[in-house]
Amino acid sequence: KQEVTQIPAALSVPEGENLVLNCSFTDSAIYNLQWFRQDPGKGLTSLLLIQSSQREQTSGRLNASLDKSSGRSTLYIAASQPGDSATYLCAVVWVNAGNMLTFGGGTRLMVKP
Amino acid sequence: GAVVSQHPSWVICKSGTSVKIECRSLDFQATTMFWYRQFPKQSLMLMATSNEGSKATYEQGVEKDKFLINHASLTLSTLTVTSAHPEDSSFYICSAIEGVTLGQFFGPGTRLTVL
């Protein structure tokens, strides 16, 4: 069964820390992997999209890596800020699943000032 | 980036009424749109895949006669919750694809409360 798992489910850190969010997936035959941010009661904001041929993508303080062989992706957030507090979702499009995204359960991040 | 809008952003209705939610891709054409629902503190659950000009494909356990989906144009898909009941209260989110390589872009969601 194709599944996406995110650990930890919740994370609380002091402002300024660098942090890593983890995402694992059970089948390495992916088309792409996408990281999203969701604020309470809001829709999803796309943060980074990594194609299967890529190893990482960067946007500002965010860096996402992809290791297909081990079925893992990490989202690195540098110098965290209270405004980074949100739920972060990892989602995969598998090669045999058309364009359908399979989501992980998310990591709820709280950055304390 | 590509922008997807939803209307309304929230709606409160009486049990038994029908509610229509619109999903629009504002600056691109979306051949495929997706409808999700999300319960509090849970991840998104895919309800159906909507392709322009054809019938929607529903996920297992989703009643197609209750959740009517229409994707009549490349920029608009609608979800109608028919004869809504309190258990249909949820956060409904749509997404659209601007070509597979650009990933999915999500709308801001619609909060439905059925009294």
The confidence score (pLDDT) of residue B42 equals 83
Q: Are A43 and B93 a contacting pair at CB < 8 A?
A: yes
All residues of chain B having their beta carbon less than 8 Å from the beta carbon of residue A30 are none
In this predicted model, what pLDDT tens digit does every residue of B45-99 receive, in sequence order?
999 999 888 889 999 999 999 999 998 888 999 999 999 999 999 999 999 987 6
What is the DSSP-derived secondary structure letter of residue B26?
Answer: S
Q: What is the largest CA-CA distance in chain B?
A: 42
Backbone angles phi, psi at A81, to 5 degrees: -130, 155
Q: Are A49 and B102 a contacting pair at CB < 8 A?
A: yes
Task: Please tell me which residue, A14 or B101, carries the higher pLDDT value.
Answer: A14
Q: Structure tokens of A69?
A: 């062989």
The confidence score (pLDDT) of residue B40 equals 85
- Burial class of residue A96 (count of CB atoms within 10 Å of its CB; 0-12, 13-18, 19+): exposed
Among A44, A43, A45, A79, which Cα is nearest to A61's?
Answer: A79
Average pLDDT over residues B98-108: 78
Average pLDDT over residues A71-85: 97
The confidence score (pLDDT) of residue B68 equals 95
Q: Are B43 and A103 a contacting pair at CB < 8 A?
A: yes
Please give the helix or strand (H or E) that residue B21 lies within, else none: strand B19-25
Asked whether residue B106 carries a pLDDT value surpassing 60, the answer given is: yes
Q: How confident is the model at residue B1 (pLDDT cuts 50, 70, 90)?
A: low
Question: What would the 3-class secondary structure string for A6-74 be?
Answer: EECCEEEEECCCCEEEEEEECCCCEEEEEEEEECCCCCEEEEEEEECCCCEEEECCEEEEEECCCCEEE
All residues of chain A having their beta carbon less than 8 Å from the beta carbon of residue B24 are none
The confidence score (pLDDT) of residue B29 equals 87
Q: How confident is the model at residue B23 (pLDDT cuts 50, 70, 90)?
A: very high
Q: Does B34 touch chain A (CB under 8 A)?
A: yes
Q: Are A46 and B107 a contacting pair at CB < 8 A?
A: no
A70–chain B nearest CA distance, Å? 22
Task: Please tell me which residue, B82 or A99, carries the higher pLDDT value.
Answer: B82
